[in-house]
Amino acid sequence: MTEPLNIGRNRAQESTNAIERMYITMRHLFIRGFYKPMGVSGETLREALLTLRPEIYGTIAESKVELSGLQYIIERLPEGIEECSFINLTSDEGYSNSHFKAIIPPKRRRNCYRIDEEQMNIEITRGRSEIYDILTHLTFMFIESHKIMQNVVINEAGQTSRDWEKLTAAVLKDGELNQKEKEIAITHTANILGRTFAEINQVYDRFATPNNPHKFLYLIHSLGKLAIREVIHGEKRAITFSPIVRERLGHHIHGEVWANNIKKTLHEHGLLNRKLHIISANMHSVMNTLFSPIALKDLLKEKSNFQVYEKLSSAQNEDLRQTVIKKAKEEGMIVLDDTSGTNIDVQIFDLAKLSHYKGDSSLQGKEDAPVIIVMDYAFGEQAYETMDELLKPFKEGENLVYTNVDSISIMGKAGILEGGKGDLMIPDAHLFEGTADNYPFHNELKKSDFENQGLRVYDGSMVTVLGTSLQNRDLLKFFHDSTWNVIGLEMEGAHYQKAIQAAAKLRGNISPEVKLRYAYYASDNPLETGSTLASGGLGTAGVKPTYLITEKILEQIFSNAVRNQNA
């Protein structure tokens, strides 16, 4: 009876060791300054990723090429990176003021620059987690490229298969491919990838771009071509880290500029001494919850709040969005679009200028009404940098002005270990993966706050992971089944809590009585086949949990503020 448990535990231990090796190796390669991902220097990283076999990378350890995982990483890497032999990770080094045009991946806000046919530069402004994310995706991409190469090179002289020649002809053809030519090319590509015609057909359009409907064929061809060059002709691909990014990383340069800009704006508007409520969330839910009842009164007579929120979440309803934004600005919303390089935009809401919230206008015009600061999502370790800098006192001449932070609320998406997409997680502790570090805290939000709303709700511990793409079933199952009582995984919680505890308990930058609220909704279930992040986004299923959490956070902020007014 004990054997399955031991096997499970051994696999979980192997996975933990693999993650630790990856973590140490990536830091070592960063300090070294360069490496060849498919050479000896990249071997440890490749082996650890193949040992780990993350769920999001599907069939990485098999000979057939992984399609969903490839789509996932391509959406997070710059257009054309598959054509580049040299990838340079840089800091913000002035490329925005050059002739180079910024390439921004669809699912990751980062500036990338195609320097020439061979080189892609990727700006790192969000800390080490961004490096881990990129290197993991690139390692997966290179492993898949070598599978393609192994399936098409038929002898040591570098002669290639008929399937490869036909794919090359399709990619190099002048003019548009017709349906027949496209299906012939898919047939040959299916043989190369070890997949069926139906499997390729199913994902083909997901890779398409407005400028290139046949991007899938070009992607596979480019990956295979560079792998063939590397193995047959010795033209090694390389990843380098610029001296500036190596020098700046960990110095909070971007976070400091970002936080100072917020505090300077608060000071200019006379808001720095007010009670502040910091919310880490997206850039629409708080604004829509506060102002759509005011801006869209007529629509709300016909539809429920959540139906209106769904409409506002659709890009097709830009006119409705603009109506809400206009009303929000009329009633005191200040928008700070990021210029620091953190890629974290900010909204500031002066509740003294809000005409009413759910009919209550008792805060309007009050000089001591609280202020809400909404910051867009941080990325991994960047959460520590930004929160640490934001909670520091504002320097006014020679004087330090301490901020009156009354509450900090963290809302976000996370992987869930029990339940499904859209369900809620209310944590009482964060555990930092790969270490024994743990951060218990008192959460003002409770499981009971969200019950009977049509969604399942779980409470317990959350694991803060090095990267969403590094998780595997064995490790997550161990966390879930053990006495750690883990309900989900995310990337920022422990980093936020580390900064908050230091500011409140050690450094005296904010009150030790600061109220904390953490709540997450499930973007995926990594333990459930077909429900990983690679299976696609939440769509409208994310609207209800997002706004349930937002409304509960705002309800607590307002009830405390009104209670203080009446005291």
Q: Are strands 399-401 and 394-396 parallel, antiparallel or unpaired?
A: antiparallel
- State which of 246, 275, 290 marks the end of a domain: 246
Count of domains for the chain: 2
User: Does 307 lie in the same domain as 237?
Assistant: no
Note whether residue 388 is domain-resident. Answer: yes
- Rounded to an integer, what distance in angstroms lies between the CA atom of residue 519 and that of residue 445? 7
- Rounded to an integer, what distance in angstroms lies between the CA atom of residue 527 and that of residue 8? 14
Residue 457 near residue 423 (C-beta atoms within 8 A): yes
User: Does 109 lie in the same domain as 206?
Assistant: yes
Note whether residue 2 is domain-resident. Answer: no
Note the pLDDT tens digit of each residue in 341-394. Answer: 899 999 999 999 999 998 888 899 998 899 999 999 999 999 999 999 999 999
User: Does 544 lie in the same domain as 486?
Assistant: yes
Q: Which residue has the tokens 């610029």?
A: 242
Residue 410: pLDDT above 80? yes
Percent of the chain with pLDDT over 70: 96
- State which of 210, 226, 246 marks the end of a domain: 246
Which residue, among 415, 423, 419, 425, has the nearest Cα to 445 in the 3D structure?
425
Note whether residue 9 is domain-resident. Answer: no
pLDDT at 9: 56
Note whether residue 3 is domain-resident. Answer: no
User: Does 261 lie in the same domain as 209?
Assistant: no
Question: In which domain, by residue range, is 118 found?
Answer: 15-246
pLDDT at 433: 82
Note the pLDDT tens digit of each residue in 246-285. Answer: 988 877 888 999 999 999 999 999 999 999 999 999 999 9
Query: What DSSP designation does 449 have?
Result: G
User: Does 141 lie in the same domain as 89?
Assistant: yes
User: Does 27 lie in the same domain as 108?
Assistant: yes
Note the pLDDT tens digit of each residue in 421-460. Answer: 899 999 999 998 877 789 999 999 999 999 999 999 999 9
- State which of 222, 246, 270 marks the end of a domain: 246
pLDDT, average across residues 105-118: 94
Residue 248 near residue 242 (C-beta atoms within 8 A): no
Q: Which residues have CB under 8 Å from 291's CB, separation 6+?
A: 324, 327, 328, 331, 333
Average pLDDT, the chain: 91
Note whether residue 45 is domain-resident. Answer: yes
CATH number, residue 476: 3.40.50.1580
Q: Which residue has the tokens 């892609």?
A: 120
- Could you tell me which residue, 550 or 1, shows the higher pLDDT? 550
User: Does 295 lie in the same domain as 163?
Assistant: no
Note the pLDDT tens digit of each residue in 190-248. Answer: 999 999 999 999 999 999 999 899 999 999 999 999 999 999 999 999 999 999 999 88
Note whether residue 8 is domain-resident. Answer: no
User: Does 234 lie in the same domain as 318?
Assistant: no
User: Does 289 lie in the same domain as 219?
Assistant: no
pLDDT at 478: 81
The token pair at 471 is 């998780």
Q: Which residue has the tokens 């869209």?
A: 296
User: Does 497 lie in the same domain as 527?
Assistant: yes
pLDDT at 12: 79
Residue 415 near residue 422 (C-beta atoms within 8 A): no
431-436: list long-range contacts, CB under 8 Å, 24+ apart: 431/461, 431/462, 431/463, 431/464, 431/484, 431/486, 431/494, 432/463, 432/464, 432/494, 433/19, 433/463, 433/464, 433/465, 433/466, 433/489, 434/16, 434/19, 434/20, 434/23, 434/466
Q: Which residue has the tokens 């910024």?
A: 102
pLDDT at 567: 59
Residue 99 near residue 332 (C-beta atoms within 8 A): no
Note whether residue 516 is domain-resident. Answer: yes
Residue 157: pLDDT above 60? yes
User: Does 366 lie in the same domain as 341?
Assistant: yes
- Rounded to an integer, what distance in angstroms lies between the CA atom of residue 462 and that of residue 484? 9
Note whether residue 10 is domain-resident. Answer: no
Q: Is 63 exposed, middle or buried (0-12, 13-18, 19+ CB in 10 A)?
A: exposed
User: Does 328 lie in the same domain as 184?
Assistant: no
Which residue, among 320, 325, 334, has the nearest Cα to 290 in the 3D structure?
325
pTM: 0.87
The token pair at 347 is 């909204």
